[in-house]
Structure 1
């Protein structure tokens, strides 16, 4: 996953950092990975210009932890 973050273009790094802070503060406000399961702890959140990036993450509630699973940049 570190390779995915390293591969982000310079213009995406600032907004990616903002998303990581957001995940620490309000992780449940992301979109459920499986729409049919709104309580699913795997969530997604877009970031960047025109929503060109997406981060997929897992919320481990009992450990108060958010684990980033995947980072994609499409623009």
Structure 2
């Protein structure tokens, strides 16, 4: 990940800790599914795909993509 993406990525990880359900559903037809996405960075240059494991109060990051 380039240096310019680090600060926005760290901000996004705080979002995942505080309000992970506020991300967009990975599959739009299943809005309550625990697989979510969240864009970050200027103009949405990055995207995190993650899974919420509610019973363990855990967020697993599946993939991070940066198009900067």
TM-score by length of 1: 0.89
* Aligned position for 1:71: 64
The CA RMSD measured in Å over matched residues stands at 0.5
Runs of 4+ aligned structure 1 residues displaced above 4 Å come to: none
Where structure 2 has 5 or more consecutive residues not aligned to the other structure, the ranges are none
* Aligned position for 2:19: 26
Query: Distance in 2 between the 1:66 and 1:48 partners?
Result: 20
Aligned length: 68
TM-score by length of 2: 0.98
Give the Å deviation of 1:16.
0.2
Where structure 1 has 5 or more consecutive residues not aligned to the other structure, the ranges are 1-7
Q: Secondary structure at the match of 1:57?
A: strand
